[in-house]
Copies of this chain bind each other. A is one copy, B any other.
């Protein structure tokens, strides 16, 4: 089938390639003319036969909103827009309602796969009305990994991004789990070779996983991670997971601890620990470490 694909960055570019390999026609648009198949959104829309399907793969927030606004003008009744970016689930309902005014369908798709997706396939979590989702099946089939898993129609509009967001929240805590264990093992004297301990865990243990395999890869590159700084960014999904938990009064202690550890990792000096130091000094005359 035919697909319009907007956004040909690290993710979008590889997805175009994987869909084409499956025998579909992809017309890609990107602001960067070096990678774009067409010169404008207008041209992209003209080249597609109605009813059109346009997949948006641009950064969440303003960029996605702006593309949705343009598509609302360019597309027609019966067309379908898919947001495959990392949008917040609350944006999905808004986009679906805006497009529905003109009879344009909307599907949200959470996409996991990172730099490994082209080769292994992309896991897809999809939200939207059945009629819109079904139109996309050939594309979803092309993108997803081989085998029985890697694709789910999770529910109504927003359910795809919500599921992907929770996936990322779980990922935060799993990464934190391996990271905490690694620090503790590296600290004790009796364990000689933490890297080999991690490697051995890849079979027969309760904690074997793809993330563990990646940890072993990383330790093979740099056994004690000496080349790295303990500095970790966070993307929106971790924050939104905690916010969704608060909205729903669900306690998420491990996921939240993982998010906060990242926040702390980015501070050169911790303001709150200055206050702790100041208080200890006030009541106990405890020495403080001063700057200079």
List of B residues within 8 angstroms of A232 by Cβ: 273, 276-277, 280
Does A49 belong to the interface (CB within 8 Å)?
A: no
B-side contacts of A264, CB under 8 Å: 251, 264, 270
Please give me the 7 A-B residue pairs with the lowest Cβ-Cβ distance, nearest first.
Answer: A209-B209, A123-B204, A230-B273, A152-B200, A230-B270, A173-B177, A253-B257
Partner of A181, one of B167, B201, B274, B277: B167
Given A152-B197, A167-B181, A188-B248, 6 more A-B residue pairs with CB atoms under 8 Å apart are: A154-B197, A170-B180, A228-B288, A253-B261, A257-B257, A261-B276
Tally of this chain's copies: 4
Name 23 A/B residue pairs within 8 A (Cβ), A-sorted: A120-B204, A123-B204, A144-B204, A149-B204, A154-B191, A158-B190, A170-B178, A173-B177, A173-B254, A175-B276, A175-B279, A176-B254, A178-B275, A179-B273, A179-B276, A179-B279, A181-B255, A184-B248, A208-B209, A225-B278, A231-B289, A262-B273, A265-B270
A281 to chain B, nearest CB (A): 7
Binding site for B on A (CB under 8 A): 10, 89, 112-117, 120-125, 127, 144-145, 147-159, 162-163, 166-193, 196-197, 199-212, 214-215, 217-219, 222, 225-234, 239, 241-246, 248-267, 269-286, 288-291
**A244: which B residues are within 8 A, CB to CB?**
184, 188
Chain B residues whose C-beta falls within 8 Å of the C-beta of A185 in the assembled complex = 162-163, 166
Please, how many angstroms separate the alpha-carbon atoms of A234 and B70 in the complex?
A: 43
Nearest residue (CB) in B for A292 is B227
> Which B residues lie within 8 Å of A166 (CB)?
181, 184-185
In terms of DSSP, what is the predominant structure of the interface of chain A?
helix
Q: How far is the CA of A3 from the CA of B13 in the complex (A)?
A: 58
Are B283 and A214 in touch, CB under 8 angstroms? yes
Q: A155-B193, A183-B275, A262-B276 are in contact. Are A211 and B204 (CB under 8 A)?
A: no
Complex CA distance for A168 and B175, rounded to whole angstroms: 15
Known: A163-B185, A197-B152. A290 touches B205 (CB 8 A): no
Contact A183/B280 with A207-B171, A271-B225 known, Cβ cut-off 8 Å: no
- The answer for the CA separation of A7 and B284 in the assembled complex, in Å, is 17
Task: Check A228/B278 contact, CB under 8 A, given A243-B243, A286-B233.
Answer: yes
Per a CB cutoff under 8 Å, which of B210, B241, B249, B274 touches A225? B274
Docked Cα-Cα span, A225 to B244, in Å, equals 22
The residue on B at minimum CB distance from A248 is: B187
